């Protein structure tokens, strides 16, 4: 099994030192865990392959940009082809997002679905087309995205307010795309937890109302069957019955997992918990990790934030390194 640290090309030398710590060496010698990187950042910054095992996280908006900007499609493909020449062990792709601006900070209104079933189905098929093109270039994996996401100021700074993030490759449609393309799943356990919090009305979404949908058109029914939850226009999406985390994990049959330490996304208006630190005392994290380890994963990727921007300023400057050490300790105990 591999344990990968997140890194951009400028961080390789420093983060490779993490793999020489006493806990990391012990994990390698006793549990046969090897180390490497999942590279984040702009594709143009990746000019050579690291010496260790590595994967590349393609830009989050890559599929969205491909969908909305046909004139840029050749350039996008060329960028991926350049990465392919460096022979990454895998490349992970997020799905297409539907672009819209919710009413700023207006509770409830920002969670209504404004797109009809035909638009979602159109994007679903476009996403499958794009994946089928990319899988001929790189060893592609598809990652599940978020049903809810943060507001971003000037498209850069996230705030601790969330809104409905419509698009594809989220829950059951993620599995549908996997079956239609043959491309393996990379399961981001945090994305799944936060999405289910919203759809099941749990954690910080427990007070969000559920307006039951009485009538579904034939397209709505098709959408509900593929996506696994109700997604009718002018309603707030919800799951009925509730979707269980362990059921999705088992159905995915993923061999690569993204890990972080949180089970909520925000303290609304105050704090971003997403990509939270990994703590050996976190019983929920250990429970979820045991579920993941039961799937016999091949690759685990650390995804703890290391930011000092609004909403995340409570994190320590070396939060990612601390979480790496803590994850090594936990794996020594759980493997």
Q: What is the CATH number of the domain that holds 111?
A: 3.20.20.150
Least trusted range by pLDDT, from 3-7, 45-49, 78-82, 196-200 = 45-49
Q: 90-93 and 53-57 as β-strands: parallel, antiparallel, unpaired? A: parallel
Other CB atoms closer than 10 Å to residue 70's CB: what's the count?
8
In the structure encoding, which two tokens stand for residue 146, read together? 């978020």
CB 271 within 8 Å of CB 315: no
Number of structural domains (the chain) is: 1
For the segment 240-289, what is each residue's pLDDT rounded down to a tens digit?
A: 999 999 999 999 999 999 999 999 999 988 999 999 999 999 999 999 99
Helix axes 245-252, 283-293, angle to 10 degrees: 30
Rounded Cα gap, residues 1 and 33, in angstroms = 5
The C-alpha atoms of residue 236 and residue 201 are separated, in whole angstroms, by 11
**In this structure, which long-range contacts are made by residues 243-249, counting pairs with CB atoms below 8 Å and at least 24 apart in sequence?**
243/171, 243/196, 243/199, 243/200, 245/192, 245/193, 245/196, 245/288, 245/291, 246/291, 248/171, 248/172, 248/175, 248/192, 248/196, 249/187, 249/189, 249/192, 249/291, 249/292, 249/295
**Predicted confidence (pLDDT) at residue 155 exceeds the cutoff of 90:** no
Mean pLDDT of the chain: 95
As given in the structure block, the two tokens for residue 161 are 């307010």
So what's the pLDDT on residue 67? 98
> Helix H segments across 213-318?
218-227, 245-252, 283-293
- Domain limits for position 22: 2-334
Q: What percent of the chain has pLDDT above 70?
A: 100
Quote the tokens at residue 27.
């994990």
Q: Are the CB atoms for 326 and 286 separated by under 8 Å?
A: no
Q: Are 132 and 138 in contact (CB under 8 A)?
A: no
Beta strand pairing call for 90-93 and 148-153: unpaired
Residue position matching structure tokens 């949908």 = 213
Write the Ramachandran bin of 234: left for phi over 0, alpha for psi from -120 to 50, otherwise beta: left
Mean per-residue pLDDT, 74-101: 96
* Burial call 118-145: b when 16+ CB within 10 Å, e when fewer: eebbebbebbbebbeebbeebbbbbbbb
| Tokens, residue 65 | 């940009």
Task: Return the CA Rg of the chain.
Answer: 20
Indicate the pLDDT class of residue 20, thresholds 50, 70 and 90.
very high
Q: Are 301 and 6 in contact (CB under 8 A)?
A: yes
Pairwise CA distance, residues 321 & 88, whole Å? 24
**Token couple for 209:** 């109302």
Q: What are the phi and psi torsion angles at 10 (to 5°)?
A: -75, -15
Which residue in the block uniquely carries the two structure tokens 């990319």?
A: 134
pLDDT of residue 239: 97
Cβ atoms of 258 and 189 within 8 Å: the answer is yes
Dump pLDDT digits (tens) for 183-198: 999 999 999 999 999 9
Q: Where are the alpha helices (DSSP H) in 91-217?
A: 117-134, 172-181, 189-199
Quote the DSSP letter at residue 250.
H
Give the per-residue pLDDT at 311: 87
pLDDT band at 171 (very low <50, low <70, confident <90, very high): very high
**Coil, helix or strand at residue 55:** strand
> Count of residues for the chain?
335
Strands 53-57 and 140-143: unpaired
Helix (H) or strand (E) holding 41: none
């Amino acid at each position: 099994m591999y344990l990968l640290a997140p890194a951009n090309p400028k961080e390789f030398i420093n983060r490779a030192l993490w793999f020489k710590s006493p806990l990391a060496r012990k994990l390698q010698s006793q549990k046969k865990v090897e180390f490497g990187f999942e590279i984040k950042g702009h594709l143009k910054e990746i000019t050579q392959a690291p010496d260790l095992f590595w994967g590349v996280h393609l830009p989050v908006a890559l599929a969205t940009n491909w969908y909305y900007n046909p004139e840029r499609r050749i350039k996008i493909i060329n960028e991926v082809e350049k990465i392919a020449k460096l022979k990454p062990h895998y490349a992970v792709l997020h799905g297409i997002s539907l672009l819209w601006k919710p009413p700023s900070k207006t509770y409830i209104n920002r969670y209504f679905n404004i797109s009809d079933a035909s638009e979602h189905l159109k994007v679903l098929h476009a996403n499958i087309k794009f994946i089928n093109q990319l899988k001929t270039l790189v060893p592609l994996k598809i990652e599940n995205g978020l049903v809810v996401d943060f507001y971003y100021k000037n498209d850069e700074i996230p705030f601790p307010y969330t809104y409905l993030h419509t698009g594809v490759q989220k829950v059951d449609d993620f599995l549908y795309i996997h079956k239609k393309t043959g491309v393996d799943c990379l399961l981001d356990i945090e994305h799944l937890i936060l999405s289910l919090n919203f759809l099941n009305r749990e954690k910080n979404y427990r007070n969000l109302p559920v307006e039951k949908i009485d009538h579904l058109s034939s397209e709505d029914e098709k959408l509900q069957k593929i996506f696994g939850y109700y997604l009718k226009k002018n309603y707030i999406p919800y799951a009925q019955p509730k979707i269980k985390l362990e059921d999705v994990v088992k159905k995915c049959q993923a061999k690569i997992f993204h890990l972080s330490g949180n089970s909520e996304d925000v303290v609304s208006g105050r704090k971003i918990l997403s990509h939270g630190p990994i703590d050996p005392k976190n019983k929920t994290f250990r429970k979820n990790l045991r579920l993941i380890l039961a799937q016999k994963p091949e690759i685990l990727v650390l995804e703890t934030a290391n930011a000092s921007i609004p909403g995340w300023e409570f994190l320590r400057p070396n939060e990612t390194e601390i979480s790496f050490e803590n994850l090594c300790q936990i794996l020594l105990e759980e493997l």
